[in-house]
């Protein structure tokens, strides 16, 4: 209800705080399976929170602000999901890791930990509250994806060519449609992909997503500097090529460790 100038940072902070409930739920039930599920959740959120935060940096560079309304306004011509597609893909992966959804639902891990942190809450109101919190996290992740990458409440092309497409109650409809489609994608992935191993989960977060994100941020910053400040294009392009080659070399080095 309040257009904060640092709204994205506020959302990241609230997402990071959510792990406390999962850890306490697993620890307080005095079950080894639940405790392992809580510890897995803490490690997973820490790993993917970094990559998710880095995926937003390219948006901040292009929009020049951390306000969600200004970020949506910056997508008037082109959605950031198209303009900054590597950041969007990284966010999609981190979205599943943050919300602990398949294929990254290792904190629950029915095949390994019975039910993870919610093993001892299988038939009570506490289990219902845990599931409600999990789906609320998923709804929030979908809303963030729509706001930061899919144009927010602005009408999609070619409907945006109509002058009244973004006036009145129409923006509410566009946001709701995008939100529903994003959540349907999450449900579709849950029904389609198998669960990954825990070492694969951590390797993806630390050895792939973070290095790729850092290289992409440097490339976006170099290109943005050339476009905004009308700098030397040869230097900008050369710097971008060097950054990409260095990122590939680092990734290959990590992949062999």
Report, as an integer, the average pLDDT of 167-175: 85
DSSP track, 79-140 = -HHHHTHHHHHHHHHHHHHHHT-TTS-TTT-HHHHTTGGGGGGTTSHHHHHHHHHHHHHHHH
Enumerate the domain spans of the chain.
Answer: 7-197
pLDDT at 15 over 80: no
Residue-level pLDDT at 50: 86
Report, as an integer, the average pLDDT of 101-111: 72
Each residue of 129-149: pLDDT tens digit?
777 888 888 888 898 899 999
Q: How far apart are CA 111 and CA 33, in angstroms?
A: 11
Residue-level pLDDT at 242: 62
Each residue of 42-96: pLDDT tens digit?
788 888 888 888 889 888 888 888 888 888 888 888 888 888 888 899 999 888 8
Q: pTM for the full model? A: 0.82
Report, as an integer, the average pLDDT of 222-250: 63
């Amino acid at each position: 209800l309040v257009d904060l100038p640092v709204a994205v940072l506020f959302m990241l902070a609230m997402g990071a705080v959510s792990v406390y409930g999962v850890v306490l739920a697993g620890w307080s039930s005095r079950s080894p399976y639940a405790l392992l599920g809580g510890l897995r959740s803490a490690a997973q959120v820490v790993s993917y929170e970094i990559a998710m935060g880095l995926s937003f940096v390219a948006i901040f560079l292009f929009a020049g602000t951390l306000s969600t309304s200004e970020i949506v306004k910056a997508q008037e011509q082109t959605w950031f999901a198209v303009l900054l597609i590597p950041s969007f893909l990284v966010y999609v992966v981190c979205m599943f890791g943050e919300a602990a959804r398949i294929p990254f639902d290792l904190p629950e891990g029915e095949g390994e930990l019975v039910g993870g942190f919610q093993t001892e809450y299988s038939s009570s109101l506490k289990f219902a509250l845990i599931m409600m919190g999990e789906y609320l996290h998923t709804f929030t992740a979908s809303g963030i994806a729509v706001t930061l990458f899919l144009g927010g409440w602005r009408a999609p092309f070619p409907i945006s060519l109509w002058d009244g497409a973004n006036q009145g109650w129409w923006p509410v409809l566009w946001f709701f449609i995008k939100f529903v489609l994003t959540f349907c994608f999450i449900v579709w992935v849950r029904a389609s992909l198998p669960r990954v191993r825990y070492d694969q989960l951590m390797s993806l977060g630390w050895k792939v997503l973070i290095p790729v994100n850092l290289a992409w941020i440097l490339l976006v910053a170099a290109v943005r500097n050339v476009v905004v400040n009308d700098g030397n294009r040869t230097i900008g392009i050369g710097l971008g090529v060097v950054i990409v080659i260095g990122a590939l070399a680092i990734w290959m080095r990590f992949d062999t460790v």
